[in-house]
Amino acid sequence: MSENIKVTEIFGEDVFNDSVMQQRLPKKVYKELKQTILEGKELSLEMADVIAHEMKEWAIEKGATHYTHWFQPLTGVTAEKHDSFITAPLPSGKVLMSFSGKELIKGEPDASSFPSGGLRATFEARGYTAWDCTSPAFVRHDAAGATLCIPTAFCSYTGEALDQKTPLLRSMQAIDKQAMRLIRLFGDTTAKKVIPSVGAEQEYFLVDEKKFMQRKDLTFTGRTLFGAMPPKGQELDDHYLGTIRQKISGYMKHVNEELWRLGVTSKTQHNEVAPAQHELAPIYAEVNVEVDHNQIIMQTLKRVASQHGMKCLLHEKPFAGVNGSGKHNNWSLTTDTGVNLLEPGNTPHENVQFLLVLSCILKAVDKHAALLRESAADVGNDHRLGANEAPPAIISVFLGTQLTDVMNQLITTGMADHSIGSEKLETGVKSIPEFMRDTTDRNRTSPFAFTGNKFEFRMVGSRDSIAPANVVLNTIVAEAFKEVCDVLENAEDVDMAVHDLIKKNFTEHQRIVFNGNGYSDEWVEEAKRRGLPNIGCMVDAVEALTSEQTIELFEKFGVFTKAELESRKEIKYEAYSKAINIEAKTMIDVASKQIIPAVIKYTRQLADSINAVVAAGVLEVEVQTELLRETSALLKKTKDALNELKKVTEEALTKEEGKESAMFYHEKVMPSMEALRTPVDELEMIVDKDMWPMPSYGDLLFDV
Ligand code: ADP
Ligand code: MG
């Protein structure tokens, strides 16, 4: 890491981006590739050969020896298989470095070890990775040297999506087509494309690597399964936006430099609410690029941490009792000419196109609330959603004062004749420059909040891909757009028809709008009255993937087939069962081999001390005796709970795979895990710290 870097010089230096392509590719090839990227035109193998050659030459100049198709199977992490550029030895015994068009556009990893949810029998192992030229290739430098990474989609021999990217690209086509119809109706004749733009704010924790290694729960599951609360948590609100400590700033600087070299626009960094928690946000980008960039961000955060003697925790809930981590997904729709369809302007009541778009989004979110909630469903995220730190599990939309007022005007009178304007901010201090305050305050508790010119979906978990949420957003909004365009393209009086549709959408779907406190119990009651779904856990949430309404939606736009949806549901059940199984086994291991032996040692020490004190002729040993009794009682509770957890964990293995198994883990194994944790955490508060077999919450959170 250099001391003084010029950001403008290093930015994107490891990316095969537009300027590199323009410089290196013959004009004709460059033009054709651009057409493929922008218009989806097919690329000939001849052209691919030229591009592959130039890409290889460029990568070798950066020190690369290998290339990999970089893809996102349904494991939650990215996958790669490295091939070096070397050819078979020549007669001279020397080798050449080569890379063909075929190798660039198609890869054939064995697909049998990736989750397919029954889409593909294990003996039919063939899977293909296909170059996604809309997301630029890059060279990654790490301990393995330098590797040319080529973003790809991953599908089965028969073309079914086995990854996150394929459906994402399909959903982008769907929203593009319908949004184009809509803006044409409003007279936009120049735009050629409408693209979802996304900015994902990434939260994470940093802990000391040595302490991390001493905790098997963190090592095996990414979260703590035991741990008493330290005397101090996050109650003083002194960490959020607090001064960043030197060690952490050094880490952030290093992360930023790596990200900038990879063309990731790392922009904002700050301390988050919980101790040891931080956030990084890039500048928004086209959603397919942002999905890849978010993966790069997560990998970089982890890799760089170990170079600074730390571990980066991306789990949604590493510690009980303090906030978990999420990922706010800021979403908008932009034309290739730079117009944001979610920009209300100063007088939204007059902005008819915006109002139609907004009313369509309300309709989409209301109709498909359960599906949108599902898109953020993950084992770890169950600990956040609805736990008064993240949005509740109930989907609602925050519109703010101004837009809610416009909506209400339209619903009640059919006309909106004014927008509540912004006012001067009065601070009462003369030396502070005057400025206009926003037309609405912020709302932190809403899962889907309108924030100026974008919607912020706040449910996604910190370690999860943002692809599923955006697949859903793109497709449900495409459907709502389609429904209005179908009417408008055939309307005699378009203005009148637009007016009626806006009013209809707002009227029928106003129940989804909620501007109040999403953390309150009253909201849970109110939402129930409104008939909004409140889906508390992942196992229940995944049902939405195969509802009739969902299948119809995704098949209509060619985003998922019914079989693909069913497979995804199976994969999620399986992932749930496996994750809880690992957590339960880890608890059993730690309790049996570390905690119970440590507590026994401690009771032995107490007993010895009682005997020694009595032998010395002192009979006042009440304190020691009481401690010994208390500890022994908790030890007994621990052992009983451990036996019970072992029993249910074994029983879980007898359940049928899929929903039955996942349900059992949720309803039986999870509560038994809690029942074991409770006495252990109490013991941690009693037992001599030197004898406790792992670092405490206090050690992990306040001593990074
Ligand atoms: P917050 O105050 O909620 O942290 P920021 O203004 O920092 O919001 O933006 C958060 C994220 O939203 C950033 O990644 C930013 O680039 C992104 N963002 C800003 N405008 C848009 C937009 N029009 N569409 C999509 N994302 C956007
Ligand atoms: Mg935000």
- Mutating to test ligand 1, I would choose from 291, 330, 334 the residue with most ligand atoms within 8 A of its C-beta, which is 330
Helix (H, G, I), strand (E, B) or coil at 17: coil
pLDDT band at 39 (very low <50, low <70, confident <90, very high): confident
Q: Where are the domains of the chain?
A: 7-162, 172-222+237-425+436-560, 576-702
Tell me the residue type at 178: Q
* Span 247-251, average pLDDT: 93
The yes-or-no answer to whether 7-162 and 576-702 have a common fold is no
* Span 249-272, average pLDDT: 95
Atom index in ligand 1 nearest the CA of residue 451 equals 3
* Span 184-192, average pLDDT: 96
**Over the stretch 599-634, which tens digit does the pLDDT of each residue have?**
999 999 999 999 999 999 998 999 999 999 999 999
Is this complex's ipTM strictly greater than 0.85?
yes
Distance linking the first and last C-alpha atoms of the chain: 21
Least confident range from 126-135, 184-193, 300-309, 638-647: namely 126-135
Q: Is 98 in the pocket of ligand 1 (CB under 6 A)?
A: no
As to burial, measured by CB atoms within 10 angstroms (0-12 exposed, 13-18 middle, 19+ buried), residue 159 is exposed
Q: Is 196 in the pocket of ligand 1 (CB under 6 A)?
A: no
* Span 289-310, average pLDDT: 97
pLDDT band at 156 (very low <50, low <70, confident <90, very high): confident
Specify the CATH superfamily of domain 172-222+237-425+436-560: Glutamine synthetase/guanido kinase, catalytic domain (3.30.590.10)
Instruction: Write down the pTM of the prediction.
Output: 0.95
Q: Is 282 in the pocket of ligand 1 (CB under 6 A)?
A: yes
Report the percentage of the chain scoring pLDDT > 70. 96
The whole-angstrom separation of Cα 77 and Cα 74 is 8
Least confident range from 163-172, 237-246, 257-266, 454-463: namely 237-246
Query: What is the b/e burial string over 333-348, where b = at least 16 CB atoms within 10 angstroms of the residue's CB?
Result: bbbeeeeebbbbeeeb
Q: Over the chain, what is the mean pLDDT?
A: 93
Q: 7-162: which CATH architecture?
A: Roll (3.10)
Q: How far is the CA of 328 from the centre of ligand 2 (A)?
A: 6
The whole-angstrom separation of Cα 449 and Cα 471 is 18
Q: Is 284 in the pocket of ligand 1 (CB under 6 A)?
A: yes
pLDDT for position 42:
87
pLDDT band at 387 (very low <50, low <70, confident <90, very high): confident
Which residues of 72-179 form beta strands (DSSP E)?
79-84, 106-107, 127-131, 138-142, 145-156
Give the tokens for residue 474. 């793109």
Q: Is 281 in the pocket of ligand 1 (CB under 6 A)?
A: yes
Q: Is 158 in the pocket of ligand 1 (CB under 6 A)?
A: no
pLDDT band at 683 (very low <50, low <70, confident <90, very high): very high
Distances (CA, A) of 32 to 38, 39, 41, 43: 10, 10, 8, 7
**CA 19 to chain centroid:** 30
Q: How far is the CA of 367 from the centre of ligand 2 (A)?
A: 25
**Over the stretch 432-454, which tens digit does the pLDDT of each residue have?**
677 667 777 778 889 999 999 99
Q: 576-702: which CATH architecture?
A: Up-down Bundle (1.20)
pLDDT for position 370:
98
Q: Is 446 in the pocket of ligand 1 (CB under 6 A)?
A: no
pLDDT for position 427:
65
Higher-pLDDT residue of 391, 420: 420
Atom index in ligand 1 nearest the CA of residue 343 equals 23
Q: Is the pLDDT of residue 530 over 70?
A: yes
**Over the stretch 330-371, which tens digit does the pLDDT of each residue have?**
999 999 999 999 999 989 999 999 999 999 999 999 999 999
Q: Is the pLDDT of residue 123 over 60?
A: no
